[in-house]
Chains A and B, each alone.
Chain A
Amino acid sequence: MNAAPPAIGAFERLQRRAFRTPLDGLVTLVFVALLAGLAWQAIDWGVLRAVWRAEDVALCREAASGACWSIIDARHRLILFGLYPFDEHWRSTSAAVAIIATVVLSCIPWFWTTRRLVSLWIAGFATYYLLMDGSLLGMAQVTTDKWGGLSLVLFLFSTVVLIGMPTGLGLALMRRSRLPVLRLVASLLIDFIRSLPLLTTLFTAAVVVPILLPDWLQGDKIWRIIIAFSLFFACYQAEVFRGGFQAIPSGQFEAGMALGLGKWQALGLIILPQVFRHALPATINMVVVTFKETAVVIIIGLFDLLASAQAAFGTGDWVAYYMETYIFVALIYWAFITSLGRYGEFVKDRMKQDEH
């Protein structure tokens, strides 16, 4: 790089990016007008003309009214908690908060040591499970078939990441092992799972595994789905880790051996910390995708957010307000996924800066 270009003001910058040529100016105006028009429509329908309270649902039928958020006011508990017993909803809320707090805390660099991260996730997950199930805390037990809505989505997401992450690391290590049998088994498994749609894998776990396993090994359907989903996550994550391994020169491992470290010590102390660092952006991306993909479990018959939303507008008076319900659920997903994604970009930028 030579000398920096001369500094220019904000106005001039805008002019260069928006009105360089007459055509540029026209394009800018057209698209800004289009966007503003759409935004205005959305605000007009969703805010200005909207009906907000459950009692006012009669107003929704008037032609001039916009969005009918009454359905959310009236049915949000069904959407968020599914079939979870009404009086115990506070438990579902606290459990969801525990998982969200775990995810937020693991975004802070202070937690980025294996021990802290593992204890954090196990603590968060245990809190969740104890609250949701309740029997160990002396509260009324709620079995997994009653779990639903947002809490179920968070449960699926966190267990899949918790089980899938170490499994993925294991598969990645197997795939680059010296031993041909280990390599072969890991490669076959990874390539097989990665060429199948997630839905096929989950469906197999829900429907086929009961035929292949003796009764005493089958367990709950939800756990079979979680294990299959974790396997799916692990196979993708193994490839992410493989990318991380490829970034480390083999000389480092040899240097570790030369210092008198054992094979596993060299791996744990020298190689893995760097692998994790290199794989971090892709890992966050994988976590985001996993959150998004949990939405397909409705097809296997779990009562997730989408299923509870369909139940919310599925009865009598509310059928007409499907759009409001879907938008509400879409906003929930969007908020989670966008914030995770933004965090991923932030980490990527930070790592780029560190390299300079």
Chain B
Amino acid sequence: MLGWRDFHRMKAREIAVQAGLVLLVLVIVIGSVRSAQVNLATLGITSGFSFLDRSTGWSYSFSLLERSIDDPYARTLLIGFLNTVFVGSISIVLATILGFVIGTMRDNRNIGLQVISSVYIQIFRNIPLILQVVFLYALLIHFPGPRQAYSISDTVFMSNRGIMMPVLSLPLGAVAGVVLGSVLLGIGAARHAGSTRRALAVWLAGTVVLFVAAAILLTPDGRDLVSYPELKGLRFVGGLTLSVELVAMIVGIVLYGAAYIGEVVRGGLAEVPRGLREAGESLGLGAFAVWWTIRVPMALRSIIPPLGNQWIFIMKATTVGVAIGFSDLFYIVSTSITQSGQTLELIAILMGAFLLVNFALAQAVNWLNARLALKGYGS
């Protein structure tokens, strides 16, 4: 291998090859810029990011923040980005949990658990994700209307408008604050609590306390602590509504992702030497203790790298939302392109956003990996 300072050691032909490649890249870049200028001029589009301040004038299905159709493009794009990160993170967490359950079932001796988890993986892994999401969406929008909604003891309702459930009447800012506090608490507990069990206990208790405190202190005056969904005329009022698009997206991505993560987990568990498990058993540990304190910690080292790839895959998979009209970043960007014509700028924003998110995820996985590495093994 040659480094950048070794040019004097290369043969003329090698230098020519490299110069040719540089030239080719330059020709492509300059040619693209030139013809972009010509083509944009014919279309009458001024390039630049000034369109971000214009208001959009169109609406979309889902947003975490307050929104109106007068929002500027910048805010609409931010909402799309938040939606992508929101659905992506929830799906990552749920798919990882379900994946560990499926993978452990596959690994279990019991034949009933093995068969059912294999059937699960065979079905959900071998059908394209987009088909599963579209199918789920079609099923959900064919649910009965709000008046005939299925209900669980009249507090949770399922209709063709989505799932309605009771919720704390906290303003969004307070919820975000509690979630942030809980994450920080989790990190702090993981660092200082010593054992996993104690860290989990501190984190769970702390989060509950945070939620209760926020509910008591921050609920707006004159409103109940908990808001329940109620049928008023043709629609539900109050409570939290999970829209059909959101449910189809999350359920679809989680079921699909969990099938892959399940295989990763099973592979990781299978690599743990049998002797370790037998040692645990002969110490008198129960089945759960052997799994939780010996096999999972050992397996994590081979699980984390492919698991990280699955997380990045899930984040990228949120783009299928466009097939069912869920307003993820890709949907917002493609609608913005048809509405405003600022194709190049919007695509650059889309790519930049995904590079950023995936880079952050990859860093998080590397950090996890480094933390879990056994001292004295490998690098």
Contacts and interface: CB of A to CB of B under 8 A. Distances in A.
Contacts of B112: 18, 27-32, 35
Most A CB within 10 A of own CB, among B4, B21, B142: B21
A54 B119 CA distance: 32
B1 A178 contact: yes
Interface in A315-347: 322-323, 326, 329-330, 333-334, 337-338, 341
A178 B2 contact: yes
Count class of interface residues, chain B: 35 or more
A200 B21 CA distance: 26
Given A30-B112, A208-B344, A326-B138, A182 B131 contact: no
B330 interface: yes
A101 interface: no
A211 B126 contact: no
A259 interface: no
Interface of B: 1-4, 6, 10, 14, 17-18, 21-22, 25, 31-32, 35-36, 38-40, 109-113, 115-116, 119, 122-123, 126-132, 134-135, 138-139, 142, 312, 316-317, 319-320, 322-323, 330, 334, 337, 343-344, 347, 350-351, 354-355, 358-359
A310 B135 CA distance: 11
Contact of B14 (A17, A27, A179, A299): A179
A211 B40 contact: yes
A292 B312 CA distance: 18
Contact of B111 (A18, A203, A210, A213): A18
Nearest to B348: A208
Contacts of B131: 295, 306, 326, 329-330, 333
Nearest to A319: B142
Interface string A4-23: 00000000001011101000
A203 B355 CA distance: 16
20 contacts: A16-B109, A17-B110, A17-B111, A18-B111, A28-B112, A32-B112, A179-B14, A181-B18, A196-B351, A197-B316, A197-B354, A207-B343, A212-B36, A294-B128, A295-B130, A295-B131, A323-B139, A326-B135, A329-B131, A338-B126
In the A-B complex, the 3 residue pairs with the smallest Cβ-Cβ separation, listed nearest first, are: A31-B112, A295-B128, A28-B112
B35 A213 contact: yes
A145 interface: no
B222 to A, nearest CB: 45
Given A34-B116, A185-B25, A211 B320 contact: no
A251 interface: no
Contacts of B113: 27, 31
Nearest to B14: A179
Interface residues of A, number: 55
Interface in A84-112: none
A127 interface: no
B116 A35 contact: yes
Contacts of A30: 112
Interface string A172-214: 0000001111100100000010011111100110011011111
Contact of A197 (B319, B344, B347): B319
A237 to B, nearest CB: 15
B138 A32 contact: no
A220 interface: no
B319 A292 contact: no
A296 interface: yes
B135 A330 contact: yes
A219 B98 CA distance: 45
A56 interface: no
A24 interface: yes
A180 B126 contact: no
Contact of A31 (B1, B115, B138): B115
A86 to B, nearest CB: 26
B322 A299 contact: yes
A208 B330 CA distance: 14
A298 interface: yes
Nearest to B5: A180
A296 B130 contact: yes
A152 to B, nearest CB: 14
Contacts of A185: 21, 25
A185 B127 CA distance: 35
A254 interface: no
Contacts of A322: 138, 142
Given A295-B128, A296-B128, A306-B134, 20 more contacts: A20-B110, A179-B10, A180-B3, A185-B25, A195-B358, A197-B316, A200-B350, A203-B334, A204-B347, A204-B351, A212-B32, A212-B35, A293-B128, A294-B128, A295-B129, A296-B130, A298-B130, A326-B131, A329-B131, A333-B126
Given A180-B4, A181-B18, A337-B126, A208 B351 contact: no
B127 A195 contact: no
Most A CB within 10 A of own CB, among B6, B112, B130, B359: B112
Contacts of A192: 355
Contacts of B139: 323
A166 B334 CA distance: 32
A222 B283 CA distance: 63
Most B CB within 10 A of own CB, among A196, A199, A330: A199
A2 to B, nearest CB: 13
A156 B18 CA distance: 33
